[in-house]
Structure 1
Amino acid sequence: MQHSKKQIRFEPIETNESNTTEDFDSWFDADLLDQAIQTLPSGSRAVFTLVSIEGYSHQESAKLLGISESTSKSQLHYAKSLLKKRITKLLQA
């Protein structure tokens, strides 16, 4: 018994009319993100900046801020949750 291979056809890149940049720009704005980050409580903002923006590990950020590693993780989770809510609210305004 022979099995035939399924042929997959791809559309050439040049004919793909989807413009991802326009889709991205329509909902994302760096000023909007910065505005939302500035509204975070200072501890959450510090951890978010160190870990998510500057690339420090939780261990490094904890040492720099004089907090425990678990507090750093907790603050980052809290910051992301607040940012999601605040950006959603700003987009609806």
Structure 2
Amino acid sequence: MPLPDRLLVHMRRWYDKKIIANHFVEWQGAGVKSVKNGFARAVEVAKLDLSDGNVTPHTLRHTAATWLMQLGTDPWEAAGYLGMSVKVLIDT
């Protein structure tokens, strides 16, 4: 998956400083297998309302897609970054 240059710079720094070892997302040195617990905690800290079930990690994907389109990102690049087809990106 292509990474934005700014993120890659940070990841290299984190690796050099031994903040991360083998995985982009780690907890106590092991790769995180699921984002559910961390996401639930973030939602709790942000005091978001979960009663309607609309706050999910997938929501972030839609947010990223919206921001990429608002910034004028080429749809082909945005779709590749988000792991979807251009048709799905445009239709959704």
TM-score interval, smaller chain: 0.3 to 0.5
- Which structure carries more helix by proportion? 1
Q: Which has the greater radius of gyration? A: 1
TM-score norm. by structure 2 comes to: 0.33
- Which structure carries more strand by proportion? 2
Q: Which has the higher contact order (CA 8 A, sep 6+)?
A: 1
TM-score norm. by structure 1 comes to: 0.33
